[in-house]
Amino acid sequence: MINIYGRSGTSLNGKWETIIDPFDVGIGWRAIYKDARPKGKTDFVEYSFGPANTLYVPGDFNSQLPELTYFESSVWYKKTFNCPGSKDGRFFIHFGAVNYIADVYFNGKKLGHHEGGFTPFQFEVTDLIKETGNSLIVRANSARVKNGIPGSLFDWFNYGGITRDVQLIKTRQIFVEDYKIQLDPKDNSRITGYVKLDTTLAGKLISLSIPELKVNQKLVTDEKGYAGVNLKKGLKLWTPEQPKLYDIRLNVEGDTVADRIGFRNIKVEGTKILLNGKPVFLRGVNIHEEIPQRGARAWSESDAKTLIDWAKELGCNFVRLVHYPHNEYAIKYAEEKGIMVWEEVPVYQGIDFADATVKDKAEQMLKEVIKRDRNRCNVILWSIANETSPSKERDQTLIELAKEVKMLDPGRLVTAAFNNVNRQGDKMILKDSVMKYLDVIGVNEYMGWYTDWPGEPEKMQWVSDFNKPMIISEFGGESVYGNKADTVIKASAWSEDYVANIYHNQIKMFGTIPFLQGVCPWVLADFRSPYRMQSTYQKGWNRKGLLSDQGEKKKAWYIMKAYYDGLKDGSH
């Protein structure tokens, strides 16, 4: 089921009773999921839910209690609720995300298990739900695992818990389970796609309404429950300058889904990225799903507006949402504001490609996020990996993932970010064999920070074995807001001036790259990371932000804003 915010639902957000389970014994003989009570005078139970121990949902547990700051194990959540009218229709419990493992129990029965901390999942509870006294119990386990996606090591904070909205969704007996409504890639005046019902019955009528286009069409399902969409209409195409969205409504037998959809065409021609047939240069910034002032996972519509509005203020027409799928609020608000999006799954440094289950997990995660967001016209790039080291297993896995994405969503571009550019003197050469299977090549380079400049920035030479567009998907350096010590002398001072010099040199280099079609500084704001253990300046924070951990603008912010203000789409 997609687009839960366009359906009839009840929020289960708020205070949930909790049990902290550091040794993860509740999944075994303790059996916390049974929520047992003593029955006789000789009975006792060594756990209990209660109002004295609560956490807010959605929200990571690490930032809610000081003693859970670096906690990485299981927290058990319990929500009790009533459901008047539960004898009519069908009911589903939908989770926006739980990090990293979720085991879900409802009214004494296990509903299922989900792995992956950043994608949605749901369970039907129609046969279990009651008018009063429903009990929903969730085990959220955030332990890092070697064969996980991401693996056991990553450079961001491992926020655990039920981190996104929980909704009780009510539908009719037959409902719209999935749909894809997009611009025909070969005809900018034609809408194509499909609607899929949660049934395999043929001959069911689906109403498709687009009031502004005077569309009120009846679609008929085939024997698999699919109905095709094919409309010829004069359309105003979505662009960053005019992010036009159309109200759309789907109805089957009284069950309704509402959405706002934009129409655009994205493709590559040689080394150019074309939006609606015109070259576009991506003025981007990397964003982690974290509100720095809170030091917590971003989850709300307000949080999304804070982050995307910062990007808009910087002059961006593009954001790279790293290194995992972000929440739906961020995607939708970016769409409204005319911001194109790079979405990514956390196939990250240290992934255990030799483990056969890793590819399956990555593929499942890609399927989940593509299904969720394929009607968001601002999503132009699906990224399959970030900074992975070449090997036979890695190459084979990424090539298969790239092909899978193209099969699932041929109307978008496939990319990945690489940090293994071949350096020969002042020449930078793109050679990785996986690049052949991508539409756009992302390059993470930290010249001036992690590596010295091999020559004068304005005289650098970039060479590619592939006739494809490239995005500098990461660059920058660490600085503490207000720190002017040793200005441009040494990196270890973490000064704004040292990093400002890096940015000036990077901009000089951009002009030397003939196939460059976008840049993305790392990163919008300082973010928490246990990787960062320098006790004077970092203090558990990655300090590469254009903004400080309090949202203050560093010198690098103003350098990038001036650069973006001077750009026009299609040139740099």
User: Which CATH number fits the domain that encloses residue 187?
Assistant: 2.60.40
Q: What is the CATH number of the domain that holds 458?
A: 3.20.20.80
Q: Given pLDDT bands bounded at 50, 70 and 90, which one contains residue 44?
A: confident
Q: At residue 129, does pLDDT exceed 50?
A: yes
Nearest-angstrom CA–CA distance, 428 and 463: 6
Q: At residue 486, does pLDDT exceed 80?
A: no
**Tokens 């319990």 label which residue?**
78
pLDDT digits (tens, 9 = 90+) for 327-343: 999 999 999 999 999 99
Please compute the mean of the pLDDT values over residues 252-273 and round it to a whole number.
98
Q: Given pLDDT bands bounded at 50, 70 and 90, which one contains residue 488?
A: low
Q: At residue 571, does pLDDT exceed 70?
A: no
Q: Given pLDDT bands bounded at 50, 70 and 90, which one contains residue 226?
A: very high
Please compute the mean of the pLDDT values over residues 377-392 and round it to a whole number.
98
pLDDT at 487: 59
Please compute the mean of the pLDDT values over residues 121-147 and round it to a whole number.
98
- Give yes or no for a cis peptide into 100 (omega within 30° of 0): yes
Domain assignment present for 424: yes
Cβ 143 vs Cβ 97: under 8 Å = no
Please list the residues that pair with 166 across neighbouring strands: 95
| Pair 275, 245 in one domain | no
| Pair 312, 421 in one domain | yes
Pairing, β 272-275 against β 74-81: unpaired
Domain assignment present for 263: no
Please compute the mean of the pLDDT values over residues 230-249 and round it to a whole number.
97
Domain assignment present for 346: yes
Q: At residue 478, does pLDDT exceed 70?
A: yes
Please list the residues that pair with 110 across neighbouring strands: 105
Domain assignment present for 15: yes
| Pair 394, 477 in one domain | yes
Q: Given pLDDT bands bounded at 50, 70 and 90, which one contains residue 489?
A: low
Burial grade of 325 (CB within 10 A; 0-12, 13-18, 19 or more): buried
Q: What secondary structure letter does DSSP report for 451? A: B
Please compute the mean of the pLDDT values over residues 561-567 and round it to a whole number.
96
Average pLDDT, the chain: 95
| Pair 159, 187 in one domain | no
Of 225 and 40, the structure prediction assigns the larger pLDDT to: 225
Domain, as residue range, for 182 = 176-253
Domain assignment present for 261: no
| Pair 430, 352 in one domain | yes
The last residue of a domain, from among 144, 171, 198: 171
Secondary structure element (H or E) that encloses residue 366, with its range: helix 356-373
Pairing, β 161-162 against β 134-141: unpaired
CA atoms lying within 13 Å on the CB side of residue 451: 16
Q: Given pLDDT bands bounded at 50, 70 and 90, which one contains residue 485?
A: low
Please compute the mean of the pLDDT values over residues 258-278 and round it to a whole number.
98
Q: At residue 394, does pLDDT exceed 60?
A: yes
For the chain, what percent of residues have pLDDT higher than 70? Answer: 98
Cα distances from 154 to residues 102, 349, 366, 387, 557, in angstroms, run: 20, 7, 19, 11, 25
- For 299, the 3-state DSSP assignment is coil
pLDDT at 445: 97
| Pair 246, 135 in one domain | no
| Pair 155, 222 in one domain | no
Please compute the mean of the pLDDT values over residues 156-170 and round it to a whole number.
98
pLDDT at 570: 45
The last residue of a domain, from among 253, 278, 301: 253
Residues composing the chain:
572
pLDDT at 264: 98
Cβ 295 vs Cβ 548: under 8 Å = no
Domain assignment present for 570: no
Please compute the mean of the pLDDT values over residues 250-269 and round it to a whole number.
97
Q: At residue 569, does pLDDT exceed 60?
A: no
Which of 308, 262, 316, 281 shows the shortest CA–CA distance to 557? Answer: 316
Please compute the mean of the pLDDT values over residues 294-304 and round it to a whole number.
96
Domain assignment present for 397: yes
pLDDT digits (tens, 9 = 90+) for 442-461: 999 999 999 999 989 999 99
| Pair 371, 471 in one domain | yes
Q: Given pLDDT bands bounded at 50, 70 and 90, which one contains residue 425?
A: confident
Q: What angle do CA 484, 487, 492 make, to 5 degrees?
A: 90
| Pair 205, 354 in one domain | no
Q: What is the CATH number of the domain that holds 96?
A: 2.60.120.260
pLDDT digits (tens, 9 = 90+) for 87-100: 889 999 999 999 99
Q: What secondary structure letter does DSSP report for 32? A: G
Nearest-angstrom CA–CA distance, 158 and 71: 9
Please compute the mean of the pLDDT values over residues 268-274 and round it to a whole number.
98
| Pair 87, 116 in one domain | yes
| Pair 218, 73 in one domain | no
Q: At residue 43, does pLDDT exceed 90?
A: no
The last residue of a domain, from among 138, 171, 204: 171
| Pair 356, 451 in one domain | yes
Contacts of 21 (CB under 8 A, 6+ apart): 30, 32, 73, 74, 75, 76, 139
Domain count across the chain: 3
Domain assignment present for 479: yes
pLDDT at 572: 60
Please compute the mean of the pLDDT values over residues 26-51 and round it to a whole number.
88
